Amino acid sequence: MTAPIVPDTHPPAKRGWWKENQQRLAPWLFLAPGIFMFLVYVIIPIFQSINISFYDWDGLGEATWVGTGNYVELMDDEAFYTSLKNNVIWLVLYMLAIPMGLFVALFLNQTVRGIRIYKSLFFFPFVISQVVVGLVFAWFYDPSYGLMNIVLGWFGAEPIAVLADERYVTYGIIAAGLWPQTAYCMILYLTGLNAVDPEQIEAARLDNAKGAKMLWYVILPQLRPATFIAVVVTVIGALRSFDLISIMTDGGPWGSSRVLAFYMYEQAFSEYGFRMGYGAAIAVVLFLIMMVYIAGFLWKMYRDEKGH
């Protein structure tokens, strides 16, 4: 005889407030340190910068309210437009790193003896510091002893002082920046290529696809995630292009290789700067430019999430 199943008539033990809300609170608790850091180091400084940009302040003494004075001055500042123009050139030309990286990756995506060594050699420029890249290229461009001008000399060309000529200087620095950036994109594509589905390639082969068509219609669509990341890191890389400029030209000659980030640094923190308000105003403009891109990025993320 089994004992009859008697329903438990005792009321459930009173659960604590914590137990009640644990499910809802736990995520926030885990997020708290991150949110705190993000607030303190990202969100609050954004508003502080916007605030400072309305003042004339040397970082030490009293700050004087100048309203939109800094922005009005920016609108009439040649150096600002030069920097803005250079930023655009950087953004456009830096994108070359993506196709270049793709082709290096395709080239290296084969199994021959010692391929790992070749891969590491191609990846090498990304590992070394930007400062070293800048120095190496500065020597490469050196008008009297640089390799580039020695080679140009063989063809009877006059030496070109790339870094001392306002016409070439930005392109010269971008070329230096493309070297490590290509390596970065290459590594992204190499990992992407590992994930390409061999069956699809097989199927495409059976349908007689090859060469460029195979690349465009079969491989590239499968590399979309890699391309997306490559675009993201390249845009960020272009906007942060600071160390190379600082090392190779220090913004010169006469400020013609500055970008907004460098100009902001110069105005706010360099030896002759300490115009915090003006620097902050440049930072705000740079932030707005980045916002366009960040908004686009978020929108794409949102759309992708919804698509699932």
Task: Tell me how far, at minimum, the Cβ of 70 lies from other proteins, in Å.
Answer: 11
Residue 143 or 229 having the CB closest to other proteins: 143
Which C-beta is closer to other proteins: that of 243 or that of 250? Answer: 250
Q: Shortest approach of other proteins to residue 76 CB, angstroms?
A: 8
In the list 52, 74, 108, 163, the residue contacting other proteins (rule: CB under 8 A) is 163
For 236-295, give the DSSP string: HHHHT--HHHHHHTTT-STTTT--HHHHHHHHHHSTT---HHHHHHHHHHHHHHHHHHHH
Interaction between residue 274 and other proteins (CB under 8 A): yes
C-alpha distances in angstroms, 210 versus 15, 101, 205, 226?
67, 21, 7, 22
Per CB under 8 A, which of residues 167..226 are in contact with other proteins? Answer: none
- Which of residues 253 and 289 has its CB atom nearest to other proteins in the complex? 253
Stretch that binds other proteins, among 91-99, 105-113, 156-164, 188-196 (CB under 8 A): 156-164
Helix and strand totals (H; E) in the chain: 16, 2
| Residue 255 C-beta: closest distance to other proteins, Å | 6
Give the residue with the Cβ less far from other proteins, 239 or 276: 276
Under DSSP, the state recorded for 62 is -
CB of 160 to other proteins, least distance (A): 9
Token reading at 17: 């407030």
* Residues between 42 and 81 with contacts to other proteins, criterion CB under 8 A: 58-61, 73, 78
Q: Which is nearer to other proteins, 130 or 257 (CB)?
A: 257
The phi, psi pair for 264, rounded to 5°, reads -60, -45
Q: How far is the CB of 149 from other proteins (least distance, A)?
A: 10
Query: Mask of contacts with other proteins, 242-271, x by CB under 8 A?
Result: -------xx-xxxx----------x--x-x
Pattern 105-144, other proteins, x by CB under 8 A: ------------------------------------xxxx
Q: Specify burial of residue 103 (Cβ count, 10 A radius: 0-12, 13-18, 19+).
A: middle
Measured distance CA(239)–CA(288) in Å, rounded: 12
Indicate which single residue of 47, 114, 272, 306 sits in contact with other proteins (rule: CB under 8 A): 272
Rounded to whole angstroms, the Cα distance separating 57 from 65 reads 9
CB 177 within 8 A of CB 94: yes
Alpha carbon distances (Å) from 176 to 39, 62, 93, 100, 171: 35, 42, 12, 14, 9
Closest distance of CB 181 from other proteins, Å: 24
Which residue's entry shows tokens 């916007």? 50
Nearest to 246 by CA among 179, 177, 181, 165: 177
Using the minimum distance from each CB to other proteins, give the nearer residue, 158 or 199.
Answer: 158
Binding to other proteins by CB under 8 A, coded x per residue (else -) over 275-304, reads x-----------------------------
Residue 144's contacts (CB-CB under 8 Å, 6 or more residues apart) are: 159
Positions that interact with other proteins (CB under 8 A): 58-61, 73, 78, 141-144, 159, 161, 163-164, 249-250, 252-255, 266, 269, 271-275
